[in-house]
Chain A
Amino acid sequence: MEYQKLSKKAFGCMFVSEILLALLTTVIFSIIWIFFKEVGTPFPITMIYGILLAVVWCGSILAPFVRYQRYRYRFSEEDIDVREGVLFIHRDIVPIERLHKVALESGPVDRIFGLSKVIVTTAGGDVTIRFLELSVAEQIVSRLKTRINQYAVEKREG
């Protein structure tokens, strides 16, 4: 089975999430900056503050483009394969046979874009497949359930 790309909505969701995160970081940095300005420090705190903010905002604006292009997932009959990342490429290979739980979750930003994430749990931990359209996610969960049931029956019948 071929690797699947995410829908355009996913890009929007990534972008909004990154911007929200950057805003939060800006608030935290600003508090620290104000604190040090009041207290006084020999270091050029305003310059450091400016550089850090520039890095954060550049990263937040550029990251969704790269992340969206990189994100690929594949659900075969036997396993789940997810590739993602911005600078570092991460890949998870999860055999369906090892699954214990499947969950469907969506956060507030996900819901705005009609997206959802599928969390699969093995005895070794969780793997999350993010930014899936709700209908796609539901299909995946349904398929996983069916496949897992098949495994259970096969296992029982030896």
Chain B
Amino acid sequence: MDVKRDGFRLRNHFSYVIEQMWGALVVLFFLMLGNTETIELGKEMIREGNIFLGLLIAGGAFLLLLFICLWHILRWYKTTITIQDGAVIYERRTWNRRVNHIAVVNISNINLEQNLFERIVGTCKVKLDTSSLSTANKTDLQIVLKKRDAEWMKRTLVQMIQEVSDEKNAAVVPGAGAQAGSGMTAVPGAGAQEGSGMTAVPGAGAQEGSGMTAVPGAGAQEGSGMTAVPGVGAQEGSGMTVVPGVSVQAESGMTHGMEMPDNRIGLNPALENHLSLDDDNMEFDIQYSAFEIIRNTFLSTSILSWLVIIGGIIFCSIGDITLFLGEEAADLGAVLGAWLVWILLISSFAWEIVKRALADFRFRARRDTDKIYVSCGLLKKKKYTVPVNKINAVTLHYTLLGRLFRKASIKVINIGGEGEDVDGMKFLLSDSYSELTRKMKILLPEYQLPELKRLKRPPFKSFLLSCAVSLLIGGCFLLVLQAGIGLLPGVMTAEEQGQAMQWAYLCAGAVIFIKVCLSFLSYRAAGIYHGEQMVLSRGIFSRVVLSIPYERIQYVHTEQSPLQKLLHLNRGYIKILASAFSNEQMIGVFEEEQYSVLAEKLRQTY
């Protein structure tokens, strides 16, 4: 670790280069194996005296390999992460210079992760998630460091965040100086995102933490014809809060490999453990037993996988029966092939189950003041911290098996926190509703679990409308098929056309039937109610019940087709601060009145 005068400059561990490169190297290796002829051609050319061209042909792959290696090493060397002035500064000085400032106040999650390779090498991944939607992809960071350094970094950042929040609580609002004369009042953290040249609006929504990222030099007045207010937010640190703790640490003069002082953090000693990957001594509020984890794994499998497996067994068994008992001679090769495919399917399914069980291994959670700590994983250890105020919605997930066994799991939606689970961060594993309620009271009493009995179904006319649309779609499908068949007199005989028409009717019927069935299942799963939070339910085979506080709704969009207008129905969605996958939450088709209530409830929050 290099040292700056008033901050720390970190660089990814060198193993990161190998991790980044190995895929390309393997591909190149196999390409080289398959291209021995090219090497021979190169040798031939060298023998003929055409040395330069020969070398280029024979050694082209090696040159490419060398280039890839050098490029990755250069990129690794030119990429630094500095903790300075209350911000994490990510700097990459390759072809395109890229500098991202992340104010620590906007870091929503600091997660530690360790996959198998990293465990062997002794490194650890620090993942910083920011609470901004528009800048999340540009500013969320992954840094691979030695395990000890990673833990130190997490500890330092946690301390800095705590200090900033303490300062905020003490009603000190620094960093607004840059807005002098702009006519706007700045609140740290609100900001001119990406320096896009738009008017930065501070304050409102700043708790969601929009304000980060500034690429020095990008400028606030970039876009023509736009109003720009300079200085709001994170640009070159102007809008950031300077955390005194950083410079104090810097003076300790740490260098890479030096002992990290452990006594700098005034955190709850019980939580010290959570700052490291080894948390065996830490007490958790919620711990799952092996049985509960296996049950969760079983319940979270998709019904499609089970259908494929069961279908495979039936199909292969029929093949066997035909082979051994049938009068006609069965093709042994075909039956064996079918079994082979089925074995492959079942092994991939089994691996998926094992992977899930390993990912949830020792799933534990703990609530401490305004944060929730979650730890899980065997091969890939995962630890994540969820600040309660960054949670924008809570979802109750019922898979089809879960619906049959009356077990649900809970996920929370907070920007950047989803990781591999795109539809939310895993929070509580499959359990009964009463048990989930009990656990939620311990971990997240701020959120009430949706009361399923209060859910109001959509009006039946919405289902009828959906059936009418299905009929229309089926009818159009039939018309197109009919036209297609009718317009091909030269290609088909009259008899073939007749047969094709029968198939067309069958297909259209199947389309209508499937569409109506899906509409019915969707109608059965849908629901809404307006309590202290907005509760939405939707699904087809599985069901998701979403609970969103009104103050977390960013805006409401509604749509009405002419038919819906006639029936006084409405459909729409709400937008919340979340990743692209869960940013838009569909409400479904309900009476206009439900949307009026939503608009009214929304108004009450401001």
B-contacting residues of A (Cβ < 8 Å)? 42-44, 78-79, 85, 87-106, 116, 119, 121-125, 127, 141, 144-145, 148-149, 151-153, 155-156
Contact = CB atoms under 8 A, between A and B. Distances in A.
A148 B201 contact: yes
User: Which one of A79, A89, A122, A149 has the greatest number of beta carbons of chain B within 10 Å?
Assistant: A122
B602 A93 contact: yes
Given A105-B226, A124-B133, A141-B227, A97 B558 contact: no
Given A102-B227, A149-B183, A156 B555 contact: no
Nearest to A122: B554
Nearest to A43: B487
Contacts of B132: 123
Interface string B128-159: 00001110000000000000000000000000
Contact of A124 (B173, B183, B554, B603): B554
Given A102-B199, A149-B185, A152-B185, A96 B488 contact: no
B537 to A, nearest CB: 21
A104 B197 CA distance: 10
Interface string B192-232: 11001111111111101010000000000001011101000
B606 A92 contact: no
Contacts of B577: 123-124
Contacts of B574: 124
Contacts of A119: 198
Given A148-B202, A156-B203, 7 more contacts: A93-B602, A101-B198, A104-B226, A125-B555, A149-B184, A149-B185, A152-B202
Nearest to B202: A152
Contacts of B557: 90-92
Given A97-B606, A123-B208, A153 B203 contact: yes
B555 A155 contact: no
A151 B184 CA distance: 11
A152 B226 contact: no
Contacts of A125: 133, 554-555, 575, 583-584
A98 B575 CA distance: 11
Contacts of A148: 184, 201-204
Closest CB pairs A-B (n = 10): A152-B203, A124-B554, A124-B575, A103-B198, A123-B577, A122-B554, A97-B606, A94-B555, A100-B210, A123-B208
A100 B185 CA distance: 13
Interface stretch (B265-273, B356-364, B398-406, B559-567): B559-567
Contacts of A127: 555
Nearest to B554: A124
A101 to B, nearest CB: 5
A144 B203 CA distance: 13
B263 interface: no
A124 B484 CA distance: 44
10 contacts: A92-B556, A98-B204, A100-B190, A100-B193, A123-B577, A124-B576, A125-B575, A141-B227, A145-B183, A153-B203
A102 B192 CA distance: 10
A96 B226 contact: no
Q: Which of B133, B223, B555 has the most CB of A within 10 A?
A: B555
B606 A89 contact: no
B517 to A, nearest CB: 26
B603 A78 contact: yes
Contacts of A102: 198-199, 201, 227
Given A149-B184, A153-B203, A105 B603 contact: no
A93 B200 contact: no
Contacts of B204: 96-100, 148, 151-152, 155
A104 B490 CA distance: 59
A143 to B, nearest CB: 12
B559 A79 contact: no
Interface of B: 132-134, 173, 183-187, 190, 192-193, 196-206, 208, 210, 223, 225-227, 229, 484, 487-488, 490-491, 553-562, 565, 572, 574-578, 583-584, 599, 602-603, 605-606
Contacts of A156: 173, 185, 187, 203
A93 B487 contact: no
A98 B202 CA distance: 10
Given A123-B577, A124-B555, A87 B561 contact: yes
Contacts of A92: 555-557
Nearest to B580: A125
A116 to B, nearest CB: 8
A93 B226 contact: no
Contacts of A98: 204-205, 554-555, 606
B190 A152 contact: yes
Contacts of B196: 101, 103
A97 B190 CA distance: 12
Nearest to A77: B606
A12 B186 CA distance: 40
Contacts of A79: 602-603, 606
Contacts of B200: 100-101
A42 B205 CA distance: 59
A100 B606 CA distance: 15
Nearest to A119: B198
Contacts of A103: 196-199, 223, 226-227
Contacts of A141: 199, 227
Contacts of A99: 201, 204-205
A122 B576 CA distance: 9
Contact of B199 (A44, A90, A101, A106): A101
A88 B201 contact: no
A43 to B, nearest CB: 6
Nearest to B556: A93
Nearest to A76: B603
A99 B558 CA distance: 19
Contacts of B198: 101-103, 119, 121
A95 B203 contact: no
A121 B227 contact: no
Nearest to A106: B225
B562 A151 contact: no
Nearest to B560: A89
A119 B199 CA distance: 10
Given A78-B603, A87-B562, A145 B201 contact: yes
A127 B554 CA distance: 11
Given A91-B557, A102-B227, A97 B565 contact: no
